[in-house]
Amino acid sequence: MGTHNLIEITLSGYMADVSTAGQIYLPIPNGFDGEVVEIRTALNGAIATADATLTPKINGTALTTGAVVIAFSGSAAGDVDVSYPSGENAVRPGDALEIETDGASVNAVEVFITVVIRR
């Protein structure tokens, strides 16, 4: 039988186009209070011209060292990028975790996001 780590839980999100400025919101459900300790992204194609920066925010406040930079140089489907927020990262049920893209890159490419919360 497998083991489960109940100290860390995850939320997943999806952004339809990392190259268009905008954001998604992930609601924090009951039982998910803790600290955001890791944000991982997986790109679904190549972006061009400039890096895409994803800035996570909790109720409008950016997480310290939480931005994920997706490099355009050599980008391809399956590229994984990660950040490790170090402050302003406490979440509580009812909060909204915003993931905002700056839209600096080009090419309409999906990005999948996993957020790790440590309780």
Does some domain include residue 73? yes
Q: Which range of residues forms the domain containing residue 21?
A: 8-118
Confidence bin at 114 (pLDDT 50/70/90): very high
Does some domain include residue 1? no
Written as six digits, the tokens of 89 are 């990262």
Give the whole-angstrom CA distance, residue 100 versus residue 104: 12
Does some domain include residue 3? no
Model pLDDT for residues 44-94, shown as the tens digit of each residue: 999 999 999 999 999 999 999 999 999 999 999 999 999 999 999 999 999
Written as six digits, the tokens of 85 are 């927020």
Written as six digits, the tokens of 64 are 């310290």
Does some domain include residue 2? no
Quick one: which of 11, 16, 10 has its CA closest to 111? 16
Torsion sign (Cα): 107, 19, 92, 94: negative
Give the whole-angstrom CA distance, residue 24 versus residue 21: 11
Q: Report angle CA 115, 10, 70 to the nearest 5 degrees.
A: 25
Query: DSSP code of 63?
Result: P
Q: How many domains does the chain have?
A: 1
| pLDDT > 90 in the chain, percent | 92
**What pLDDT does 31 receive?**
87
Tell me what the pLDDT averaged over the chain comes to: 95
Does some domain include residue 16? yes
**What pLDDT does 5 receive?**
62
CATH number of the CATH domain containing 28: 2.60.120.260
Is pLDDT at 1 greater than 60 in this prediction?
A: no
Does some domain include residue 82? yes
pTM confidence score:
0.92
